[in-house]
């Protein structure tokens, strides 16, 4: 029997709330109807998904497995609806996401030589946007920075980029030509909201602030709340009068890749991937903006 996605969506709501009444309210259906749909889903799958007793609602092992699998499944279905809707309007369009500091223009130019009639739109994304926006169809492809949860995605490596330390302008090491990882030992470190691991191999105390994106990072560093590490392109595309960028050659490089949902298959997507791979070296050189302008 085919899996009923509506029932799966109902199950995810209950699993999220662990309460049938609140889940029914969120779904705008009656609680008895929701209970019947969950029982029907359990019957379809041949396994209990939830336990219900005087202590409340809990997931069984089968329920936890379904919850793990349901996110990509529902996101893929939503993405299909989006793409069908776009196709019905007769649009030929790709939406490409990119992280700060990644230049998409070289690939767009090369792609346009084969598909001048296709509109390539772009949208800047942050680390916690990468996988969700690809899986739910808001993006067709995205230039991402590792790490990323690759579940349900195809990830193509493009290039590596050196990292820099981001220091307050008054820091004793600000203005140096380069420093080592050891020079920053013990410095309080700002952490991204997506909890990505930092590239340093040495322990740093938590500065106590979560940052989302480069702009927030620069403001916190300028205020003296901690240091951070960013890809070299941050020194080209971003600036702050109270922040200094200092190369740290012994840090692991930042990895830039192109990601697409596994369910997203089309000749246009394949051709854009080819263009991105063919222009990866040019894109990497955008870390030196003057060189890129001369070459284009």
pLDDT tens per residue, range 127-171: 888 999 999 888 999 999 998 989 999 999 999 999 999 999 999
Same domain assignment for residues 237 and 126:
no
Distance between CA atoms of residues 255 and 137, nearest Å = 24
Instruction: Give domain status of residue 87, yes or no.
Output: no
pLDDT at 58: 92
List alpha helices for the chain, DSSP H. 5-17, 20-27, 31-45, 61-88, 105-114, 130-135, 213-222, 234-237, 267-278, 280-284, 289-295
Same domain assignment for residues 269 and 239:
no
pLDDT at 71: 81
Same domain assignment for residues 175 and 155:
no
Residue scoring higher pLDDT (90 or 56): 56
Residue scoring higher pLDDT (200 or 177): 177
Same domain assignment for residues 146 and 291:
yes
Distance between CA atoms of residues 212 and 61, nearest Å = 34
- The pLDDT confidence band at residue 85, using thresholds 50, 70 and 90, is low
Same domain assignment for residues 148 and 171:
no
Distance between CA atoms of residues 91 and 16, nearest Å = 36
pLDDT at 38: 92
pLDDT at 161: 92
Same domain assignment for residues 105 and 239:
no
Instruction: Give domain status of residue 86, yes or no.
Output: no
pLDDT tens for 43-68 read 889 999 999 887 789 999 999 999 98
| Average pLDDT for the chain | 87
For the cut 60, the answer to whether the pLDDT of residue 89 exceeds it is no
- The pLDDT confidence band at residue 112, using thresholds 50, 70 and 90, is very high
- Its pTM stands at 0.67
Same domain assignment for residues 111 and 227:
no
Same domain assignment for residues 167 and 240:
yes
Question: What is the domain range of residue 104?
Answer: 92-159+255-295
Distance between CA atoms of residues 256 and 159, nearest Å = 5
Q: H or E stretch including 96?
A: strand 93-99
What mean pLDDT comes out for the span 252-271? 93
Are 207 and 223 within 8 A, CB to CB?
no
Instruction: Give domain status of residue 131, yes or no.
Output: yes
Residue scoring higher pLDDT (296 or 8): 8
Report angle CA 241, 220, 166 to the nearest 5 degrees: 60
**Number of domains composing the chain:** 3
Same domain assignment for residues 177 and 285:
no
pLDDT at 212: 87
**Last residue of some domain: 31, 53, 80?**
80
> What is the CATH number for 243?
3.40.190.10
């Amino acid at each position: 029997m085919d899996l009923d996605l509506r029932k799966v969506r109902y199950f995810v709501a209950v699993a999220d709330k662990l309460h049938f009444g609140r889940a029914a309210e969120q779904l705008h259906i009656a609680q008895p109807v929701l209970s019947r749909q969950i029982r029907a889903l359990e019957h379809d799958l041949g396994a209990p998904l939830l336990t219900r007793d005087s202590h409340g609602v809990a997931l069984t092992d089968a329920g936890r497995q379904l919850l793990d699998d349901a996110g990509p499944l529902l996101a893929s279905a939503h993405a299909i609806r989006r793409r069908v809707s776009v196709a019905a309007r007769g649009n030929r369009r790709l939406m490409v996401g990119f992280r700060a500091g990644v230049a998409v223009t070289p690939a767009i130019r090369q792609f346009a030589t084969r598909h001048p009639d296709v509109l390539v739109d772009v949208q800047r994304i942050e680390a916690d946007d990468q996988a969700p926006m690809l899986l739910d169809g808001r993006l067709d492809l995205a230039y991402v920075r590792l790490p990323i949860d690759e579940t349900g995605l195809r990830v193509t490596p493009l290039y590596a980029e050196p990292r820099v330390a981001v220091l307050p302008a008054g820091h004793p090491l600000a203005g140096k030509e380069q420093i080592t990882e050891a020079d920053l030992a013990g410095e309080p470190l700002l952490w991204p909201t997506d909890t990505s691991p930092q590239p340093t191999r040495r322990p740093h105390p938590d500065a106590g602030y979560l940052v989302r994106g480069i702009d927030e990072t620069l403001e916190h560093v300028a205020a003296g709340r901690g240091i951070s590490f960013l890809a070299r392109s941050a020194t080209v595309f971003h600036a702050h009068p109270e922040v200094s960028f200092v190369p740290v050659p012994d840090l692991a490089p930042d990895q830039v890749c192109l990601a697409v949902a596994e369910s997203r298959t089309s000749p246009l997507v394949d051709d854009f991937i080819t263009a991105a791979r063919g222009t990866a070296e040019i894109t990497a050189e955008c870390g030196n903006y003057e060189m890129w302008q001369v070459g284009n």
